[in-house]
Amino acid sequence: MRSPLRSATPVGLVALLALSGCGFSGEEGGAARAADREQRIVVDNFRAPVADWALESDAAYILSLSGCLETLTRYDEAAGEIVPALATEWEQVSPLEWEFTLREGVRFQDGTALTADAVVTSLRTVLDAEVPARAFSPAVVSGVEAVDERTVRITTPSESPLVPYRLASVNTGVLAPAAFEGGSVDPFGHCTGPFTPVSEQPKQSLTVDRNEDYWGGEVQLAGAEVRFITDGATRATQVQTGEADVSLSIPAANVAALEADSAVEVLKAESPRTATLYMNNGRAPFDDVDFRKAVRSALDLDALAASVYEGAALPATGPFAPSEPWATEGAEAPQQDADAAKELLAAAGYTAERPLEIIAIVERAEFADVATVIQENLKSVGVPVTITTKEYAAVEPDLLAGDYDMVLSQRNRLIDIADPIGFLTADYTCEGTYNLSHFCDEDYDRLVAQAAGTADTEQRYELYARAGEILEEQAVNVWLVNEQAVDAVRADLQNHRQDPLSRYVLRAETTKPAS
């Protein structure tokens, strides 16, 4: 019988996610004002739900940050470890099996009890989805069953030390069985969290009320409105005017103005998030590694970080940030070398027969400027580029289908599960479910499979580092800058904690004094 994994804190992960200003009490002069339990707040989020609230989609993140959806385990961003949530303990009972014991006394918001059968129904819905969640798919989970009323067994196709991490993914959030009785997922009244969704304005907002029977203690706020605002400048304006109490993902261009406003607190945290120029490795001319290296050599990452990001981000050294325990020691950011780029273009036999296209997703306001800088860099070495801006939800089908040249996006490496195995598997293995780059390398796949079954943390991190080196050697993408998580809150908000992974915002303990 194996020891429960929850006692093993990942080496270095705490340091990676060390927060700067993440815990914000909103205290004025060192003393918090009395909370008003009739207060409601407004949260500006940077994306809207899609796919009719399907848990395997990004809609799960919105249900989670809204205080509705909860998981069996939870990744504690401050402690850097997996902690109990709807499950109180877990254990690897055989090489391919883990068992999770459910918390007693938990009820869904429709009054029904949290049981093993209910958890199995919810998890199987995600597992059986046409496009399963990246952290919880048949590739990594082969079975979910109820052992008894309070025990859920998870079976894996190969030995996996990371199952508790997968059960902390918001995509594995648990809803009552009634949520799945219709043609689509219905989260209204079917969560276990501190807040209950009560109404929705499609593509605009979600309104939640306090869950009076929350298992985790008394909920302080009467409710909230979560607005879906893709424009970063608008989010920044609304928190400054007081129209919003929390605005997530503030663009670099708006940070200085907010920091100068005493009514607003700007929260920053180191984040495993890298702005990336994705290249379609499956389509010419990007199917030639020399061409991809030429693109990398043409770009001036130092100037990009200093200009567009105004020094708030650092040039990337590869797929991992240097502070991450699985990064290659001593890695340096690639330097612009126009002569080398031209030689590589010649080696690739490149001719500018047609302009290549960069898609800049609009949810990240700075990407329009980033695209312009890249356009000028590539033009200087003889590669013409056009720029298109689109919302991410609209362009994702084309990205997954391989119908694009380049796209500017950003990826949080720990958002699927709080370990790089999710990112390295989903994004870069031949069968990866989020392989936007359409990269495929058998040696890389074998290395990642070996890492997935390695329980020893240090050994696993060494394998992650080697996987990152292969991605860099193959110039799969150009990793541009390592970003910070930057949010802004009104100064009178109390007991708010920033989550650099953007999964938890509305919490039971969040309070606000009377106006």
The DSSP-derived string for 120-182 is HHHHHHHHTSSS-BTTBSTTT--EEEEEETTEEEEE-SS--TTHHHHTTSGGG----GGGGSS
Q: What type of residue sits at position 217? A: G
Dihedrals φ, ψ of 249, to 5°?
55, 75
38-48+193-263+491-514 CATH, one of 3.40.50.1820, 3.40.50.261, 3.40.190.10, 3.40.50.300: 3.40.190.10
Of the candidates 220, 195, 177, the one whose C-alpha atom is nearest the C-alpha of residue 65 is 195
Residue ranges of domains in the chain: 38-48+193-263+491-514, 70-187, 272-484
Q: Which residues pair with 359 in a beta bridge?
A: 388, 407
Neighbours of 440 (CB within 10 A): 15
Q: What's the predicted TM-score (pTM) here?
A: 0.79
Per-residue burial over 231-268, b if 16 or more Cβ lie within 10 Å, else e, is: ebebbbbbbbeeebbbbbbbbbbbbeebeeeeebbbbb
Instruction: Classify domain 272-484 by CATH number.
Output: 3.10.105.10
Same fold? 70-187, 272-484: no
- Per the listing, tokens 């055989």 go with 94
What is the third-level CATH fold of 70-187? Dipeptide-binding Protein; domain 1 (3.90.76)
- Per the listing, tokens 């689509």 go with 184
As a whole number of Å, the end-to-end CA separation of the chain is 56
pLDDT tens, per residue, the chain with 515 residues: 333 333 333 434 444 443 333 444 554 445 567 888 999 999 999 888 876 899 998 899 999 999 999 999 998 877 778 999 999 999 999 999 999 999 999 999 999 999 999 999 999 999 999 888 888 989 889 999 999 999 999 999 999 999 999 999 999 999 999 999 988 899 999 999 999 999 999 889 999 999 999 999 999 999 999 999 988 899 999 999 999 999 998 988 899 999 999 999 999 987 888 999 999 999 999 999 999 999 999 999 999 998 888 777 889 999 998 888 899 888 899 999 999 999 999 999 999 988 999 999 987 878 999 999 999 999 999 999 999 999 888 899 999 999 999 999 988 888 788 889 989 998 999 999 889 999 999 999 999 999 998 988 899 999 999 999 999 999 999 999 998 889 999 999 999 999 888 899 999 999 999 87
The two tokens of residue 85 are 């949530």
Alpha helices (H) in 39-103, listed in sequence order: 59-65
**Rounded (5°) CA angle 505-511-512:** 115
Answer yes or no: are the C-beta atoms of 382 and 345 closer than 8 Å. Answer: yes
In the sheet that 87-94 helps form, which strands lie side by side, from edge to edge? 87-94, 97-102, 151-155, 143-148
Answer yes or no: are the C-beta atoms of 14 and 414 closer than 8 Å. Answer: no
